Structure 1
């Protein structure tokens, strides 16, 4: 149970970092798309 709880905590931070990374990549993608359209 303890290992599962620790894994859950690590997974939570991992998901949070992944969410921030995905958001940044998405913003860069939109920015490059707008620049390409211009």
Structure 2
């Protein structure tokens, strides 16, 4: 059985998830060329 997550573990999981989402968001912006204004 999985051990109960404490506060530190939950913060680590949330932090890693935010880092991955930010990396994916910046990667998507890089792949699309900026529109000429």
With normalisation by structure 2, the TM-score equals: 0.69
Gaps of 5+ in 2: none
Gaps of 5+ in 1: 1-8
With normalisation by structure 1, the TM-score equals: 0.67
Q: CA RMSD in A?
A: 1.7
The answer to which structure has the higher helix fraction is 1
Runs of 4+ in 1 over 6 A off after TM superposition: none
